[in-house]
Amino acid sequence: MLIDNIRLFLMIAEKGSLVAAGRELGLSATTVSERLAALEAHYGVVLFNRTTRSISLTEAGRTLVEGARLVLGEVDDLDTRIRHGAQTLSGPVRVSAPVDLGRSILSDVVADFAAEHPAISVELSLSDGYVDIVGEGFDIALRFGAVTDSTLRIRSLGEFQRIVCAAPSYIAARGAPQAPGDLAQHNCLVMRFGRTLDNVWRFGSGKAQQAVTVRGNKTVNDGWLVRQWALAGQGIILKSELDVAGDLKAGRLVALLEDYLPPPNPLQIMFPPGRAQPRRVRVLAEAISAALPVSA
């Protein structure tokens, strides 16, 4: 019964509502309240701050969320291995990734993985903004750039070049910049990552490093859309080689300022704090790592 109540608690935390959790599990509101009260009595703590309009996790509740996901994942794995054999993997895995990377690489990884492990359900959430990995319950997250949260477990997937590029139609109409400073005369399509505006583009390294503040008539928080605008000839973009390699090879985009390459950008796969991940999470993480090209 304790395990069942913990599962119910996680559902409440994910849905943000006792009523929504009950609806998902086919339980009455009274039953949900009684079982949550029993769980809080068992631990001797309050797990949710409750008002008439909303609920939020207490510190004890957040601790239980982190531990419960790990424990219940292992329980599910153990149950499946006993029922169906030691090599069978099952249960949910939630993945967060940048939009373009998710569409260009991870979509195929997830499709192949799901075909190989039909008892595992993968939820892929694509966002170029800030994501609270622990608070939103993700098992895996992929992110470019430095990671500021020291509590997360991190595995490096390599460093990948960021490339300044534009469509041939844009270059035909506006010309190509010959040096980074020339970007001031061009329409640069700017990405927003959460609260951070990516309008300072860096070039070179060491003493030759320089930073250029760019401007343009469009700003967006979606990496796929900024790439579509560039393909339509609407401006110059700065994108990871993982996102535009196919466009460059096909001639849909042209690399610019290649003599002033910016420093490569690290890509990390991140996991919530904890002693270990369920085996299904580790296996998917390995599949993602294997699908990425080897960085320079």
pLDDT in tens, 41-75: 998 999 988 877 778 888 888 888 878 877 777 77
Does the fold of domain 162-263 match that of domain 89-157+265-296? yes
Helix (H) or strand (E) holding 171: helix 168-174
Q: How far is CA 90 from CA 84, 121, 162, in A?
A: 10, 8, 37
Mean pLDDT for 223-245 is: 94
Task: Give the separation between CA 219 and CA 222, rounded to whole angstroms.
Answer: 9
Query: Over the stretch 142-181, which tens digit does the pLDDT of each residue have?
Result: 988 877 766 788 888 888 999 999 999 999 999 999 999 9
Superfamily designation of domain 89-157+265-296: Periplasmic binding protein-like II (3.40.190.10)
Which among 104, 147, 111, 146 has a CA at the least distance from the CA of 126?
Answer: 104
Q: How far is CA 276 from CA 9, 17, 61, 74, 289, in A?
A: 22, 29, 20, 10, 18
Mean pLDDT for 267-272 is: 89
Mean pLDDT for 97-108 is: 90
Where b means 16+ CB within 10 Å and e means fewer, 189-206 reads bbbbbeeeeebebebbee
Mean pLDDT for 267-296 is: 82
Give the domain ranges of the chain. 1-87, 89-157+265-296, 162-263
pLDDT of 86 > 60? The answer is no
Structure token pair of residue 165: 């590029």
The one-letter code for the residue type at 284 is: L
Task: Give the separation between CA 64 and CA 206, rounded to whole angstroms.
Answer: 46
Where b means 16+ CB within 10 Å and e means fewer, 16-50 reads ebbeebbeeeebeeeebeebbeebbeeeeeebbee
pLDDT of 22 > 80? The answer is yes
DSSP conformational letter for 56: E
pLDDT for the residue numbered 131: 81
The strand pairing partners of 193, in sequence order, are 196
Task: Give the separation between CA 139 and CA 110, rounded to whole angstroms.
Answer: 14
**Which class for 176: exposed (0-12), middle (13-18), buried (19 or more C-beta within 10 A)?**
middle
CATH architecture of the domain with residue range 162-263: 3-Layer(aba) Sandwich (3.40)
Mean of per-residue pLDDT scores for the chain: 87
The strand pairing partners of 50, in sequence order, are 55
- Token match 């990671």: residue? 147
Structure token pair of residue 206: 């060491």
* CATH classification number, 1-87, choose in 3.40.50.720, 3.20.20.100, 1.10.10.10, 1.10.1240.10: 1.10.10.10
Question: In terms of pTM, does the model score above 0.85?
Answer: no
Task: Give the separation between CA 133 and CA 66, rounded to whole angstroms.
Answer: 11
Which among 230, 236, 264, 274 has a CA at the least distance from the CA of 139?
Answer: 274
pLDDT for the residue numbered 142: 93
pLDDT for the residue numbered 87: 57
pLDDT of 113 > 80? The answer is yes
